[in-house]
Amino acid sequence: MDQDTALRLYEAMLLTRLAEERLVKLFRQGQTLGSVYRSLGQEATACATAMALGPDDVIAPMIRNLGSMFVRGVTPEEIFLQYLGRATGPSGGREHNNHFGSVARGVIAPTSMLGALIPVMAGVALSFRQKGERRVAMTWIGDGGSSTGAFYEGLNFATVQNLPLIVVGESNGYAFSTPPERQMAGHMSQRSQGAFTLTVDGNDAAAVYEASAQARQHCLEGGGPVFLVCETFRMKGHAEHDDQRYVNPGLLAQWAARDPLPRLETWMAQRGWRPDPSLGPRLEAKLAAEAEAALEAPWPGTGALSAGIFSS
């Protein structure tokens, strides 16, 4: 990873953390329409994977991959409007959190149904192969989500068809309150069904970037899909309404010591690369202003109820 990429990656990860912190403030003020889903501690798994893609590649994020959307050019302003349910937000108040896509920026809308995006993205990858385009599709799945039928069907199809699909496995310790040993036999990395599999420290942004670049190359060379398993940890509850009392605090402390942001800073410092010290305060000020502006944005009118709905 070169200096420019490392600095951009650091900025995307910091932006993700600070934007989510701002969302938590809005949640505690009762402003968001639902709960807030954090990717605290998983910013490298979301951002460094997307950062290794080319501009024509397509992603389908899940709930802990807000950072991947920022990498593709989605703005915090859009995210605030969306969480606040405003008319000027990406889904006009019909959905909340990060549930919206942007075809122009190569983002397929996240969906709640765990695993469902894998067959969708296998289809996207199939279209690339049919058109002879050098592009890859990427999506993410949690350890819990890897126990769904859709995960198996999608990855199996991609393997049999030799498709340029990267499935990022987020091995992050819990699915709601269920640890992996209560819902799967063996380790997530054993669920690849013949796809080329890489396992990486998901909190080491440089390692995630290199593995993702390798995965992309593997796809572009016609090697078929890659299952890229990132070892990481969900540092918050399922969402802000969940106080994660079922997680051993010692485990959280162990993983806090592996926080991906300071680790990337150290990795960069070893190469003499340093982010601009004013970056954090600048991002915070911008996010605060954007959140304020989003609070002033209009609500959808009643006419929005029937907009976009087919009736005959």
Ligand X SMILES: Cc1ncc(C[n+]2csc(CCOP(=O)(O)OP(=O)(O)O)c2C)c(N)n1
Length of the chain: 312
Cα(118)–Cα(276) distance, integer angstroms = 38
Helix (H) or strand (E) holding 165: strand 165-171
Q: Least Å distance between CB 189 and ligand X?
A: 14
Cα(191)–Cα(85) distance, integer angstroms = 37
Return the residue of 33, 94, 152, 176 that touches ligand X, per CB under 6 A: 176
Return the residue of 105, 129, 187, 238 that touches ligand X, per CB under 6 A: 238
Q: Least Å distance between CB 302 and ligand X?
A: 30
CB-based contacts of 71: which residues, under 8 Å, 6+ apart?
A: 12, 47, 50, 51
- Paired strand residues for 141: 169
Return the residue of 6, 52, 167, 175 that touches ligand X, per CB under 6 A: 175
Q: Tell me: does residue 174 bind ligand X (CB under 6 A).
A: yes
H-assigned helices in the chain: 3-28, 43-51, 66-71, 76-83, 117-131, 149-160, 205-220, 249-256, 260-269, 279-296
Which segment (50-58, 160-168, 169-177, 260-268) binds ligand X by CB under 6 A?
A: 169-177
> Among 69, 235, 198, 211, which residue's Cα sits nearest to residue 139?
69
Q: Tell me: does residue 32 bind ligand X (CB under 6 A).
A: no
Q: Least Å distance between CB 162 and ligand X?
A: 26
Cβ neighbours around 311 below 10 Å, total: 4
Q: Which of 28, 241, 246, 271 is catalytic?
A: 246
> Is 187 one of the annotated active-site residues of the chain?
no
Which segment (48-56, 68-76, 140-148, 241-249) binds ligand X by CB under 6 A?
A: 140-148
| Residue window 186-205: x/- pattern of binding to ligand X, with contact defined by CB under 6 A | --------------------
For the record, the structure tokens of 271 come out as 């190469």
Q: Which of 64, 96, 234, 263 is catalytic?
A: 234
Torsion-angle region of 143 (φ positive above 0: left; ψ -120 to 50: alpha; else: beta):
alpha
Q: Least Å distance between CB 130 and ligand X?
A: 28
Binding to ligand X, residues 54-113 (CB under 6 A): 64, 112-113
Q: Least Å distance between CB 180 and ligand X?
A: 8
Residues that bind ligand X (CB under 6 A): 64, 112-114, 142-145, 148, 170, 172, 174-176, 234, 238
- Active site members: 234, 238, 246
